[in-house]
Chains A and B, each alone.
Chain A
Amino acid sequence: MIEFKNVKKVYPNGTVALDNVNLRINDGEFVFIVGASGAGKTTLMKLLLREEKLTSGSLTVDEFDLKKLSNFKVPYYRRQLGVVFQDFRLFPNKTVYENVAFAMRVIGEPSKVIRRRVPTILSIVNLQDKYNCFPRELSGGEQQRVALARAMANNPRIIIADEPTGNIDPKMSLEIMNLLVKIQKKGKTVIVVTHEKNLVDYFKQRVVTIGEGGVISDTVGGMYNAEV
């Protein structure tokens, strides 16, 4: 479970990015985070990834209290998350297989386990035939599927996708979203930050709208708030 309680984030230059944010995301939920540019979505993600520390309030992710989490424990916390970015962030010099395997190697998985698990994950994202390709040899949609496979490699409880369809065509976007829904149905919590009104409206999941540094609407099975 993820819980924001009266969360406030003020950057060193005095900018108040988030103020009094209260939000609870239960295990296994699918949540769209939407909002205009500068609304505070990125800050919300940074707090969740523990790239930034909150100024006041509390933020807990399962057993981790992110306000008190020491820098030493941050890598262990991040292993509970699978992260997908708009720009894919794949290792350009590693093959599809190596990109996925890397996430497992980081946490010290034995090579035997890696050799068994990576093909299984690649087949979930339908890339089993492209395991030996480099990212530059793949389309945007395929690269995002590799990123998704890497995010799932360590069987995390939470998947965070920051504008996952921002750099890919509509058909691929739908495919990526379907994959995310499929992952959520397997019991994972999925948080998707997006601007794509069509996708939000199509999937009819919980929609949290961020605006002016706070939560301005939170609806289950909702639609993209056109006024934002």
Chain B
Amino acid sequence: MRRYSLTYFIGQSFKGLWRNGVMSLASITVLMSCLLVMGSFSLLLANINYNMEEIGLLNEIVVFIDENSTDEQVAAIGTEIKGLDNVSGVRFISREEAHESEMAKLADHPNLLQRMSLDKEIYRHSYVITYSDNSRVSTLQYQLEHLENKGVSKIICRTDLAETIESLKSGITMIFIWFLAILMVVSIFVIINTIKLAVFARRQEISIMRYVGATNWFITLPFVFEGIFIGLLAGGIGYLLQWYLYTYVYNIIITDYNMISVMAYADISHYVIAAFLAIGVVTGIIGSSISLRKYLHA
């Protein structure tokens, strides 16, 4: 079995790209546009999730301890809470700290403070618990209500808020995943049609190859390499445009809407370039292979 030179195929691919300049440019533009649209929506989704996570972090469960509990019982409850699944942090607030905190809040309103005559005895020790998974808050709440160590008098938990955030996140994610899937399929079809036009323009060349005894892979390989190069170029240019676009929007948001958090492009750029190049190359390969199939029948 004789070996064909890889450099020959790569050389042929570059010649093909150059000779079919207009079609190559059309393929690159279409693929790049599809990548930009997909990339923009993916980044939007990532940022929505990022903001949702931040809102989620504000969720806390407060466990108030019965005023008759001893210091040992309070400590034992704290230890038990720390050992529960889904608990990411536990902060103890003594009744003195709670009192001081309230006093500090009302420091600017001395009349109100005087009328309320806050006594530290009305406060209770408490534990402020943060958790890692919003979707399992109900379980955590149940576990807190059924601690082995007795002495919990009240639990404040905004399960409704946590669940709303979680369902909102799942809903948005699902919509975006479907949207991206549809966009991906549409992109592949557009690419296939663009490459089909390029292949159609070279159908006579392919038929000559068949007559001189070229195997299917000998015919296919230069086109596949062309697809890869088109994908790489579209991915590379698309990445740069995405960078510019994202940074532009990022600057507007952090200047005018500072309550919204936006991920820095530097933190996600490696995912973007990897995804763009991978999708570009795979689409290029699939597009050229499917487009050629018709012309490869013996």
Chain A residues packing against B (C-beta within 8 Å): 49-51, 71, 74-79, 83, 89-91, 93, 102-103, 105-111, 150, 154
Give the residues in chain B near A78, CB-CB below 8 Å. 210-213
Closest to A88 in B: B208
Asked whether B298 lies within 8 Å of A89 as measured between CB atoms, the reply is no
The verdict on B251 contacting chain A, using a C-beta distance below 8 Å, is no
Chain B residues numbered 1-39 whose CB sits less than 8 Å from any CB in chain A: 1-5, 8, 15, 19
Residues of B in contact, count (CB < 8 Å): 23
Known: A78-B213, A107-B2, A109-B2. A71 touches B208 (CB 8 A): no
Least Cβ distance of A179 to chain B in Å?
A: 19
27 contacts between A and B (CB under 8 A): A49-B211, A51-B298, A71-B297, A71-B298, A75-B210, A75-B213, A75-B298, A76-B213, A77-B213, A78-B211, A78-B212, A78-B213, A79-B212, A83-B212, A89-B204, A89-B208, A90-B208, A91-B208, A93-B15, A93-B19, A102-B212, A103-B212, A105-B4, A106-B209, A109-B2, A110-B2, A154-B212
Give the residues in chain B near A111, CB-CB below 8 Å. 5
Give the residues in chain B near A105, CB-CB below 8 Å. 4, 8
Contact of A106 among B1, B204, B218 (CB under 8 A): B218
Least Cβ distance of A24 to chain B in Å?
A: 24
Chain B residues numbered 201-232 whose CB sits less than 8 Å from any CB in chain A: 204-205, 207-216, 218
Closest to B209 in A: A106
A76 to B205, CA, bound (A): 19
Asked whether B207 lies within 8 Å of A89 as measured between CB atoms, the reply is yes
Per-position binary interface string of chain B over residues 281-298, scored 1 when its CB falls under 8 Å from any chain A CB and 0 otherwise: 000000000000000011
Give the residues in chain A near B2, CB-CB below 8 Å. 107-110
Least Cβ distance of A210 to chain B in Å?
A: 22
A109 to B3, CA, bound (A): 9
> A76, A89, A106 — which one has the most chain B CB atoms within 10 A of its CB?
A106
Contacts A75-B210, A89-B211 given; 11 further ones with Cβ under 8 A? A49-B211, A71-B297, A75-B214, A77-B213, A79-B212, A83-B212, A91-B205, A103-B212, A103-B213, A106-B214, A108-B4
A99 to B148, CA, bound (A): 87
> B208, B210, B218 — which one has the most chain A CB atoms within 10 A of its CB?
B208
Least Cβ distance of B23 to chain A in Å?
A: 14
Give the residues in chain B near A110, CB-CB below 8 Å. 2
A151 to B218, CA, bound (A): 19
Give the residues in chain B near A75, CB-CB below 8 Å. 210, 213-216, 218, 298
A50 to B211, CA, bound (A): 10
Known: A89-B207, A91-B205, A91-B208. A106 touches B213 (CB 8 A): yes
Asked whether A106 lies within 8 Å of B212 as measured between CB atoms, the reply is yes
Least Cβ distance of A81 to chain B in Å?
A: 8
Give the residues in chain B near A49, CB-CB below 8 Å. 211
Closest to B15 in A: A93
A154 to B209, CA, bound (A): 14
Give the residues in chain B near A90, CB-CB below 8 Å. 208
Give the residues in chain B near A154, CB-CB below 8 Å. 212-213
Least Cβ distance of B12 to chain A in Å?
A: 10
Closest to B8 in A: A105
Give the residues in chain A near B210, CB-CB below 8 Å. 75, 78
Closest to B212 in A: A103
Give the residues in chain A near B205, CB-CB below 8 Å. 91
Least Cβ distance of B154 to chain A in Å?
A: 77
8 closest A-B pairs by beta carbon, nearest first, are: A108-B2, A79-B213, A74-B298, A71-B298, A78-B213, A103-B212, A106-B214, A75-B215
Closest to A102 in B: B212
Least Cβ distance of B298 to chain A in Å?
A: 4
A79 to B204, CA, bound (A): 19
A107 to B209, CA, bound (A): 11
Closest to B4 in A: A108
Asked whether A83 lies within 8 Å of B298 as measured between CB atoms, the reply is no
Give the residues in chain A near B216, CB-CB below 8 Å. 75
A76 to B298, CA, bound (A): 11
A78 to B216, CA, bound (A): 13
A51 to B208, CA, bound (A): 13
Least Cβ distance of A84 to chain B in Å?
A: 10
Least Cβ distance of B67 to chain A in Å?
A: 86
A226 to B55, CA, bound (A): 94
A90 to B2, CA, bound (A): 25
Give the residues in chain B near A79, CB-CB below 8 Å. 212-213
Give the residues in chain A near B19, CB-CB below 8 Å. 93
Give the residues in chain A near B3, CB-CB below 8 Å. 108
Least Cβ distance of B209 to chain A in Å?
A: 7
